[in-house]
Structure 1
Amino acid sequence: MTPHDAPRAPLHIAGTGTALPGDPVDNARLGKAFGIDEEWIDLFVGTRTRHFGWDLATGEIRHSLADLCAEAAHHAADAAGTDPADLDFLVLATTTPDRLLPTTANEVADRLGLDHLPTYQIQAGCSGAVQALDLARALLAAGHRSGLVVAGDTTARFLDPGRSPADLPARELVNYVLFGDGAGAAVVSAQPDGEALAVRTLLHRFSGRGRPPGQIIDWDGPVRRDPGRQMLSEDYKAVEEGVPVLAGEIYRELLDSVGWTPHDVDFLLPPQLSARMTRRITEHLGVPAAHEVSCVADTGNTGNALPLIQLDRLLTRLPHTGRALALVVESSKWIRAGLALERTRPREPRP
Structure 2
Amino acid sequence: MTNPAEIRLLSVGTALPGPPIDNVALGRHFRMDALWQQWIDAFIGTRQRHLAVDLDTGEQRATLAALGVEAARKALAASGTDPRDIDLVVLGTATPDALMPATVNVIADELGIDGITTYQLQSGCSGAVQALDLARQLLSTGRHRTALVIGGDVIVKHYVLDADLRKVPPAELVNFVLFGDGAGAAVLSADPEAGDTAFRSAFVQLVGKGRPPGQVLEWFGPARPPGPDIAAHEDYKAIEESVPVLAEEILREILDGLDWKQDDLDYLLPPQLSVRMTDKITRRLGVTGAREINCVGETGNNGNALVFFQLDQVLNRLVPGDRLVGIAVESSKWIKSGFALEKL
TM-score, length of structure 1 as denominator length: 0.93
The match for 1:263 is 263
Segment drifting more, 35-44 vs 197-206: 35-44
2:258 is matched by which residue type in structure 1? V
The match for 1:87 is 86
| Alpha-carbon distance in 2 for matches of 1:23, 1:138 | 37
The match for 1:139 is 138
Measure how far apart 1:88 and its partner are: 0.4
What pairs up with 1:336-351 in 2 under 5 angstroms? 336-344=336-344
2:18 is aligned, of 19, 22, 28, to 22
Segment drifting more, 63-72 vs 137-146: 137-146
Q: Is the 8 A contact 2:201 2:341 kept in 1?
A: yes
Measure how far apart 1:53 and its partner are: 1.2
Q: Is the 8 A contact 1:9 1:137 kept in 2?
A: no
| Alpha-carbon distance in 2 for matches of 1:162, 1:230 | 11
Q: Is the 8 A contact 1:14 1:194 kept in 2?
A: yes
The match for 1:248 is 248
| Alpha-carbon distance in 2 for matches of 1:174, 1:207 | 25
Segment drifting more, 217-226 vs 131-140: 217-226
Measure how far apart 1:312 and its partner are: 1.4
Measure how far apart 1:160 and its partner are: 2.0
The match for 2:69 is 70
Q: Is the 8 A contact 1:9 1:140 kept in 2?
A: no
1:106 is matched by which residue type in structure 2? N
| Alpha-carbon distance in 1 for matches of 2:63, 2:230 | 23
Measure how far apart 1:56 and its partner are: 1.2
Q: 1:44 to 1:35 in 2, by over 3 A?
A: farther
Measure how far apart 1:189 and its partner are: 1.1
| Alpha-carbon distance in 2 for matches of 1:325, 1:78 | 25
Measure how far apart 1:40 and its partner are: 1.1
The match for 1:216 is 216
1:11 is aligned, of 3, 7, 11, to 7
Measure how far apart 1:139 and its partner are: 1.8
Measure how far apart 1:227 and its partner are: 6.6
1:79 is matched by which residue type in structure 2? A
Measure how far apart 1:223 and its partner are: 2.1
1:40 is matched by which residue type in structure 2? W
The match for 1:197 is 197
| Alpha-carbon distance in 2 for matches of 1:316, 1:34 | 39
| Alpha-carbon distance in 1 for matches of 2:87, 2:257 | 29
Q: Is the 8 A contact 2:52 2:181 kept in 1?
A: yes
Q: 1:170 to 1:194 in 2, by over 3 A?
A: farther
The match for 2:152 is 152
In structure 2, list runs of 5 or more residues that go unmatched: none
Q: Deviations over 1:247-293 (max 9, x none)?
A: 11111111101111111000000000001111111111111210001
Percent identity, aligned pairs only?
53
Q: Is the 8 A contact 1:15 1:195 kept in 2?
A: no
Q: Give 3-state SS (helix, strand or coil) of 1:321's partner.
A: coil
Measure how far apart 1:294 and its partner are: 1.0
Q: Is the 8 A contact 1:80 1:194 kept in 2?
A: no
Q: Is the 8 A contact 2:264 2:323 kept in 1?
A: yes
Q: Give 3-state SS (helix, strand or coil) of 2:248's partner.
A: helix
Q: Is the 8 A contact 1:182 1:305 kept in 2?
A: yes
Measure how far apart 1:226 and its partner are: 4.5
Q: How many residues align?
A: 338
TM-score, length of structure 2 as denominator length: 0.95
Measure how far apart 1:60 and its partner are: 1.1
| Alpha-carbon distance in 2 for matches of 1:220, 1:192 | 46
Measure how far apart 1:220 and its partner are: 2.9
The match for 2:52 is 53
Q: 1:61 to 1:117 in 2, by over 3 A?
A: same
Q: Is the 8 A contact 2:322 2:342 kept in 1?
A: yes
The match for 2:104 is 105
Q: Give 3-state SS (helix, strand or coil) of 2:332's partner.
A: coil
